[in-house]
Amino acid sequence: MLELIFKGVPVQRGSQDDQISYIASLTFSDIARLLTDGRLYVPNETNLPDLAQRKLNPVRVKAIAQYILETYPEGSTFFPPICLNVHPIPIYRDGTIALPYHEVTMRLTDGQHRCCAIRKALEQVQSENLSELPIVAKLEIGVLLYAGLPLDLERQAFRDQNLLAQRPGVSLSHLFDGRSPCVQIAKELMQRVPQFVDNVEVFENGLGPHNPKLLTLSTLVSATKSMFPNLKSKKNIDQLTTWAEAYWISVASILPKSPWVNKTKEERDRQRQESLVVSAVTFQALGLLAHDLYIEEVSGEHLSEWVVKLKKIDWRRENKFWIDRGVTQMGAQGNPIISNTRSTIDACHRVLREFTGIAELSEISK
């Protein structure tokens, strides 16, 4: 009888003798082959009587496949194990797990997007870079094998695996990211721009009334991506970081009463209620303004000549000017509020362009 053999070890999942799972691994080529021949089964169609998965998201599959292709050359493709419910119950023999190849069904309870992305990545390598195919095919992914779970427990496993998982906050994800050049620039700016030092929140998703930080790392990364929207490579990253540093220092230096300096939580909370100069919208709009100046080839030495004109702006939240320009709107309590949306950021960006004269410069350039 033809058997499918895994190297693996048993894991006692519960107190009963039959409550055993197995830790093993599969190569990328195994994943693709088992998906194609139907041995690796994904019960994700809503009309299936044995439905036990969410629907497949092709956009997510494409993104994960791209992640594989970008990271495998340096050995930094980090995947958690996929989870399979295997029927019939496997036979364990001294470090190996044996399954009857023509009878086995391996039902994915977690990892369908990773598996489909692995197959897609292999297909792309085969069509674009055939010499790399043997390397990618031999890469492995961890597998947690559940032995013969009934459908109700398989569904429970899917629910528990997904409900109990918690994604890290965006700022914390950026803090630990060593790949993105824009994130690298933003983290450098945290150390090099005096107003940002010890003043950027890197753990929480937002800034509550008891948080004295100036902005989140997520906001600073968003502003940096607006500054250099097409940045994919770390080539010339030192030069770009130096230019960005000069820009933020120039902006901070012209703002009246140094609003970006470190403050107590009470002072910062009051400032957020009264002024837009510390709004996430403003920082992102300033990132867009920086892009305007960068593509106009304004050097770091001359940035202050442009941003000095921002000194004329009345940043008070209650200023009716901001409502007229679509940056704020009246809230239910009769107070002006600002929403962190693309349209609001664009409206604020238009104001900054007008005050600096970039709008006129752009028209002349045309």
Domain of residue 151: give its range: 3-163
Same domain, 75 and 219: no
pLDDT at residue 361 greater than cutoff 80:
no
pLDDT at residue 366 greater than cutoff 60:
no
Same domain, 209 and 331: yes
β-pairing, 91-93 with 3-12? unpaired
Same domain, 264 and 232: yes
* Cβ proximity of 84 and 154 under 8 Å: no
Same domain, 175 and 155: no
Same domain, 325 and 223: yes
339-348 tens-digit pLDDT: 999 999 999 9
Of 140-154, 157-171, 204-218, give the lowest mean pLDDT range: 157-171
Same domain, 271 and 333: yes
Domain-ending residue, one of 163, 178, 205: 163
pLDDT at residue 37 greater than cutoff 80:
yes
What is the tally of structural domains in the chain?
A: 2
3-state secondary structure the chain: CCEEEEEEEEEECCCCCCCEEEEEEEEHHHHHHHHHCCCEECCCCCCCCCCCCCCCCHHHHHHHHHHHHHHHHHCCCCCCCEEEEEECCCEEECCEEEEECCCCEEEEEECHHHHHHHHHHHHHHHHHCHHHHHHHHCCEEEEEEEECCCHHHHHHHHHHHHHCCCCCCHHHHHHCCCCCHHHHHHHHHHHHCCCCCCCEECCCCCCCCCCCCCEEHHHHHHHHHHHCCCCCCCCCHHHHHHHHHHHHHHHHHHCCCCCCCCCCHHHHHHHHHHECCCCHHHHHHHHHHHHHHHHCCCCHHHHHHHHHHHHHCCCECCCHHHHHCCCCEECCCCCEECCCCHHHHHHHHHHHHHHHCHHHHHHHHC
Same domain, 196 and 108: no
8-27 tens-digit pLDDT: 898 888 777 777 899 999 99
Of 75-84, 99-108, 306-315, 321-330, give the lowest mean pLDDT range: 99-108
Same domain, 223 and 350: yes
Domain-ending residue, one of 163, 192, 215: 163
Domain-ending residue, one of 116, 147, 163: 163
Same domain, 88 and 193: no
Same domain, 208 and 113: no
**Confidence tier at 239 by pLDDT (50, 70, 90):** very high
pLDDT at residue 364 greater than cutoff 60:
no
Same domain, 240 and 296: yes
Give exposure, 95-105, as e/b (b: 16+ Cβ within 10 Å).
Answer: eebebeeeebe
Same domain, 353 and 265: yes
Q: Which amino acid is at 345?
A: I
Rounded CA gap, 133 and 126, in Å? 6
Rounded CA gap, 55 and 143, in Å? 21
